[in-house]
């Protein structure tokens, strides 16, 4: 393991989980359990395995203590700098980076707290370095949902958001990014893009992992342009678009020196290269490219990278599982995948002897059980995750389910493929199939439910 001094790492954990309010009404999204650990464990472990010894975690101010306590129990060797942001502010991801800009002194790796993967990040760093990229993004194949997988909750068909992602086949340059919902039937591609990138493919089945390596000057520019609120929705498309701008080429910028000089707002290209018309101030990477015979394209006889100052690239990972647990379906699928086959599977939370679970049943198969859990005799559990302080009473069966903190299941219940949120109670003799039980909700004794969300409407409206 080594310390990557050329990069800083940031995990964004400020999201409220607007796509999964059934689960986040009573608990922070980044602390929802996946396998043995809170969701935020997975990006932190990924960065630790990559070699980062220090990570900045940005979270709501009112949840700092709770998140700090959870991270402490993970047993990570990484030093965590936990930064709080005002919980009442509805900040986008780019807004968050802007608010902590003073902490950045080098290029930055930005990761969302809901990224669940154990992919080797070497390829994305190699691509970033090789091309001296402005931004490099990690992409996955959209996760395949097994035919037999049944999503807990109502049987409405989940329609995942689709992105249209254009990548140059020859160079790997990221040249187009938009939501499929922005287009009805046709996509208009500019002539300028066709002229510069003659062989590219528009992908509709790739998942943006929300893991980006970003050049420091991009973050400096972000401070000046407060109209940009999100990374994926605004910053990344903006920087991608600027690759086609005439000012992207230093030679063309020389002709417009007087015009730029009169502009009171600092142009993005001035961040990419200070005084680009002055050969004495060219970055080393530009000088090397000019002296080298290397060329990244065969579409014309222009210099390497067409002399571009701004360059965005994408790395597609197709061999490893990667998902963003940002909705109920992906959250449930991530728990299933991790429970079946995952290289973090041997990881266990730090549990003191006094906090060891009490398991009186001998019919517990392929389950993940956290501290202070009580499982009484004559119970049967299989393929289930059980979080801290939960209690399962006698003569109960639980299959393929997720039990969050402080869940109580009374005697004689049958629970199958359900998610029971924190502090929920299932009274005696209930039968639940493919259901979600919301935080602090009590299911009345003898109830029978299938494919439903059982919660108070008021709780969902809080988030």
The pLDDT, as a whole number, for residue 459 is 53
Any idea what the Cα angle at residue 120 is, between residues 383 and 163, rounded to 5°? 80
**Does the pLDDT of residue 352 top 80, yes or no?**
no
For residue 449, report the phi and psi dihedrals to the nearest 5 degrees. Answer: -135, 145
The pLDDT, as a whole number, for residue 100 is 95
Q: For tokens 């597609």, what's the residue?
A: 316
3-class SS of residue 33: strand
Residues in the chain, overall count: 463
Q: For residues 187 and 177, which has the higher predicted lDDT (pLDDT)?
A: 177
Give the confidence band of 441 by pLDDT, cuts at 50, 70, 90. very high
Give the confidence band of 271 by pLDDT, cuts at 50, 70, 90. confident
Q: For residues 187 and 438, which has the higher predicted lDDT (pLDDT)?
A: 438
The pLDDT, as a whole number, for residue 322 is 87
The pLDDT, as a whole number, for residue 421 is 95
The pLDDT, as a whole number, for residue 275 is 43
For residue 216, report the phi and psi dihedrals to the nearest 5 degrees. Answer: -60, -40
Nearest to 306 by CA among 239, 240, 245: 245
Mean pLDDT computed over 168-194: 84
Q: For residues 250 and 109, which has the higher predicted lDDT (pLDDT)?
A: 109
3-class SS of residue 410: coil
Mean pLDDT computed over 104-130: 93
The pLDDT, as a whole number, for residue 89 is 59
For residue 163, report the phi and psi dihedrals to the nearest 5 degrees. Answer: -105, 145
Give the confidence band of 236 by pLDDT, cuts at 50, 70, 90. very high
Question: Which helix H or strand E contains 323, and what residues bound it?
Answer: strand 322-324
Domains, the chain: 7-245+310-328 (3.90.550.10), 351-462 (2.160.10)
Please spell the DSSP secondary structure of 173-211, one letter per residue.
Answer: BEEEEEEGGG-SS-----HHHHHH-SSEEEESSEEEEEE
C-alpha of 224 from chain center: 26
Nearest to 197 by CA among 125, 302, 273, 123: 302
Give the confidence band of 26 by pLDDT, cuts at 50, 70, 90. confident
The pLDDT, as a whole number, for residue 263 is 46
Least confident of 100-109, 142-151, 293-302: 293-302
Nearest to 38 by CA among 113, 111, 110: 113
Interatomic CA distance for residues 86 and 90, integer angstroms? 9
Mean pLDDT computed over 57-68: 92
Nearest to 57 by CA among 79, 30, 32, 83: 83
Burial of 99 (0-12, 13-18, 19+ CB in 10 A): middle
Distances (CA, A) of 119 to 15, 127, 344: 23, 15, 11
pLDDT per position as a tens digit, 394-408: 999 999 999 999 999
The pLDDT, as a whole number, for residue 170 is 85
Nearest to 172 by CA among 195, 145, 139: 139
Cβ atoms of residues 110 and 218 within 8 Å: no
**Does the pLDDT of residue 351 top 70, yes or no?**
no
Cβ atoms of residues 268 and 246 within 8 Å: no
Q: For residues 262 and 299, which has the higher predicted lDDT (pLDDT)?
A: 299
Cβ atoms of residues 327 and 19 within 8 Å: yes
pLDDT per position as a tens digit, 47-60: 999 999 999 999 99
Question: Which residues lie below 8 Å from residue 354, measured CB to CB, with a gap of 6+?
Answer: none
Least confident of 37-41, 162-166, 195-199, 213-217: 195-199
Nearest to 87 by CA among 55, 111, 58, 115: 58
Interatomic CA distance for residues 289 and 246, integer angstroms? 19
- Report the first-to-last Cα separation within the chain, whole angstroms: 40
pLDDT per position as a tens digit, 359-368: 999 999 988 8
The pLDDT, as a whole number, for residue 157 is 66
The pLDDT, as a whole number, for residue 270 is 83
- pLDDT > 90 in the chain, percent: 54
148's tokens: 């037999």
């Amino acid at each position: 393991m080594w310390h990557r001094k050329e990069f800083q790492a940031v995990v964004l954990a400020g999201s409220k989980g607007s796509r999964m309010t059934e689960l986040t009404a009573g608990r922070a999204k980044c602390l929802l359990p996946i396998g043995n650990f809170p969701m935020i464990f997975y990006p932190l472990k990924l960065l630790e395995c990559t070699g980062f010894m220090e990570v900045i975690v940005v979270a709501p101010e009112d949840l700092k203590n709770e998140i700090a306590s959870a991270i402490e129990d993970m047993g990570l060797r990484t030093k965590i700098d936990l930064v709080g942001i005002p919980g009442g502010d509805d900040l986008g991801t780019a807004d968050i980076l802007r608010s902590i800009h003073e902490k950045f002194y080098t290029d930055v790796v930005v990761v969302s707290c809901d990224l669940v993967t154990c992919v080797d990040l070497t390829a994305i760093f190699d691509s970033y370095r090789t091309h001296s990229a402005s931004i490099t993004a990690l992409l996955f194949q959209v996760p395949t949902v097994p035919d037999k997988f049944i999503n807990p909750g109502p049987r409405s068909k989940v329609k995942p958001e689709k992105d249209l992602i254009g990548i140059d086949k020859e160079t790997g340059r990221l040249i187009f990014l938009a939501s499929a919902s922005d287009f009805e039937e046709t996509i208009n591609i500019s002539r300028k893009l066709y002229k510069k990138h003659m062989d590219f493919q528009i992908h509709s089945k790739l998942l943006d992992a929300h893991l980006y390596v970003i050049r420091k000057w991009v973050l400096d520019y972000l401070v000046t342009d407060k109209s940009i609120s999100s990374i994926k929705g605004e910053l990344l498309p903006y920087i991608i678009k600027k690759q086609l701008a005439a000012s992207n080429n230093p030679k063309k910028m020389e002709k417009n020196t007087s015009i730029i000089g009169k502009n009171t707002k600092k142009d993005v290209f001035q961040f990419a290269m200070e005084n680009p018309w002055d050969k004495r101030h060219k970055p080393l990477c530009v000088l090397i490219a000019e002296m080298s015979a290397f060329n990244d394209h065969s579409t014309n006889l222009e210099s390497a990278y067409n002399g571009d100052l701004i360059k965005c690239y994408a790395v597609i990972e197709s061999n490893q599982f990667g998902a963003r647990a940002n909705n109920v379906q992906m959250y449930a699928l991530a728990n299933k995948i991790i429970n079946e086959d995952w290289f973090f599977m041997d990881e266990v939370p730090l549990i003191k002897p006094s906090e060891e679970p009490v398991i009186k049943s001998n019919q517990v198969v392929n389950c993940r059980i956290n501290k202070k859990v009580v499982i009484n005799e004559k119970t049967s559990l299989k393929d289930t995750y059980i979080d801290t302080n939960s209690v399962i009473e006698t003569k109960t069966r639980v299959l393929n389910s997720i039990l969050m903190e402080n869940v109580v299941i009374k005697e004689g219940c049958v629970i199958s493929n359900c998610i029971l949120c924190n502090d929920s109670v299932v009274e005696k003799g209930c039968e639940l199939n493919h259901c979600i039980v919301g935080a602090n909700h009590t299911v009345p004794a003898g109830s029978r439910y299938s494919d439903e969300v059982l919660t108070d409407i008021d709780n969902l409206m809080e988030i």
